[in-house]
Amino acid sequence: MTQSARIHVRVAEIEPLNATLRRITLQHAEGALLPASAPGAHIQIELRGDTRSWRNAYSLVSPPGTRTAYSIIVRKVPQGRGGSLYLHERLAVGQTLTILPPVNLFPIAGLARKHLMLAAGIGVTPFLSTRAALAETPFELHLRCHAADQPAFQTLLAPWPHAHIHAGPDFNPTDLLRHQPLGTHLYLCGPTGFMQAAEAAARTLGWPAARIHQEHFGAPTGGRAFDAVLARTGRTIHVAQDQTLLEALEAADIDAPSLCRGGACGECRLPLLAGTPDHRDHFLSESEHATSIMPCVSRSHAETITIDI
Amino acid sequence: MDQGIKSRPRYQPFRIDPAGTQHLIVTDQPSPPPGISGAAELWTIAPHPGGQSFPTPAALLASLPGHLARQGPGFRLYAIGTEPFIWDVAYIATHAGLTEGELFLHHAGSLARRVHCIHCKTNTDRVTTNIVTCAGCGANLLVRDHFSRRLRAFMGVQVDAETPGILPPIETLYP
């Protein structure tokens, strides 16, 4: 995504949904219309803290096509890398931010006979904008969440007559996955462990890959600091423990492409020239691991890595 | 004769997909290919030990939708036979919700084609020659490799529009 695509927005409203969830509504800073978004789309928000900046992806929860405002829901993650804490503790109504326009990596399958949506926690957000797009197609939405979040999610899911909220850790989707008609499409969004378990259960039951859709949202966990050698210029940049390689590139003013920032979409893929990569994405195949790296989530096992940018 | 047309379907060799949990093989061929395991259900036209047989391909196709409606995740459908038959199966299966990775087509037997006249939209079946007279409008059609998955047929285009009655040599290309 290039620099020119950035949109300046103003924080129009901040609504707490409970102790750790807040809905943030953004409007165009100059009062213009925002680009229309599709069901399931997300935006990237750029945040500048005192010592570092973040670029985080959030699903739009405003109705698709709304051009006067975008809404997102942010969970406060105290042990995260700081972006959500900034949005919970520093952000104020009236403040301006920059965002990148909506992108949809989680579209609803148009030919599906039925939609089976499984979410955990804040992973419910990409589904909230899809209700109208489901039209007459049967659907079932199941949300696993902490008991403390149940009232807030219940309110958000009021327009979903078929939503099932499972408060507590005991939700096992295997029976649901076993008893679905042909032509059902499965959508997963939530923490990595939740999605991996659900996907593994579906694959064991014989679900083909073409009917499983996943939205991976960046929870890059950080790791050891390392240096990246940028082969085209010979520059070396430092990647801190709590920073991603992509963020380090952006901090060095290198216009690196990115979309999902969660290792899923493939947009940020860079040729890998030397080093011992720590691959953490869901995109590259085994055979591509020797020659490519996804800087939004992946890191280096060794002290330096050389990439072609 | 390769007409260099990319829509011409290509088929993989038959094999049971190990990711599936229930398998149904349907065929219009007298003997199903080797390698069919006992774990798969088999529907045939000619009676076959261990299989369910139907009097005609049409009767077999008519029984498919009801059967598919009772299936769920893990179901795999394999169609083995002539191209008109396997694409009829594909049409029914797609309408029942089967998708990539659940439906496998394997060509066996005659190469005879179903030809769709692009002028009058009539299908002519069991075409084995490069030129065929349309069963609908009587035009002399050149049988192209252009295959429509939606129409389940090869396209036939009038070959003598500018020189009526003057045809290229007629050859049996699709025995």
* Percent of chain A topping pLDDT 70: 97
Decide which of A182 and B49 is more confident: A182
Q: State the DSSP code for A127.
A: H
Name the closest residue on chain B to residue A206, using Cα atoms. B74
Q: Which helix (H) or strand (E) holds A142?
A: strand A139-145
pLDDT in tens, A174-226: 999 999 999 999 999 998 889 999 999 999 999 999 999 998 765 666 788 99
What does chain B come to in residues?
A: 175
Evaluate if residue B38 carries a pLDDT over 80.
no
3-state secondary structure of B3: coil
Evaluate if residue B132 carries a pLDDT over 80.
yes
> Which of B97, B99, B100 lies closest to A181 in CB terms?
B97
Interatomic CA distance for residues A60 and A71, integer angstroms? 6
CA distances for B108 relative to A209, A306, B100, B112, B165, angstroms? 27, 52, 21, 11, 35
Interatomic CA distance for residues B130 and B86, integer angstroms? 21
pLDDT in tens, A21-73: 999 999 999 999 999 999 999 999 999 888 888 888 899 999 998 999 999 99
pLDDT in tens, A123-149: 999 999 998 888 889 999 999 999 999
Q: Mean pLDDT check: name the lowest of A8-12, A78-82, B81-85, B144-148.
A: A78-82
Name the closest residue on chain A to residue B95, using Cα atoms. A183
Residue A1: closest CA among A249, A226, A244, A291: A249
Interatomic CA distance for residues A209 and A215, integer angstroms? 14
CA distances for A159 relative to A120, A123, A130, A140, A154, angstroms? 18, 17, 11, 13, 10
- The confidence score (pLDDT) of residue A55 equals 84
Interatomic CA distance for residues B40 and B36, integer angstroms? 7
- In this complex, do A206 and B97 lie within 8 Å of one another by their Cβ atoms? no
Q: Are strands A163-167 and A96-103 parallel, antiparallel or unpaired?
A: unpaired
Token reading at A307 = 């990439």
Instruction: Please state the rounded mean pLDDT for residues B132-144.
Output: 95
> Which of A111, A206, A211 lies closest to B21 in CB terms?
A206
Residue type, A153: F
| Residue ranges covered by each domain of chain B | 22-107, 113-158
- In this complex, do B19 and A208 lie within 8 Å of one another by their Cβ atoms? yes
Q: Give me the residues of B, 102-161, that contact A with CB < 8 A.
A: 102
Name every residue whose Cβ is closer than 8 Å to that of residue B77 and which is 6 or more positions away in sequence.
B24, B26, B68, B89, B93, B98, B102, B103, B104
Evaluate if residue A1 carries a pLDDT over 60.
no
Domains of chain A: residue spans and CATH: 3-103 (2.40.30.10), 114-215 (3.40.50.80), 226-307 (3.10.20.30)
Token reading at B49 = 């030990």
- The confidence score (pLDDT) of residue B1 equals 59
Asked whether the beta carbons of A294 and A304 are under 8 A apart, the reply is: no
Interatomic CA distance for residues A127 and A41, integer angstroms? 9
Mean pLDDT for chain A overall = 90
Q: Measured between CA atoms, how close is B37 to chain A, in angstroms?
A: 18
3-state secondary structure of A211: helix
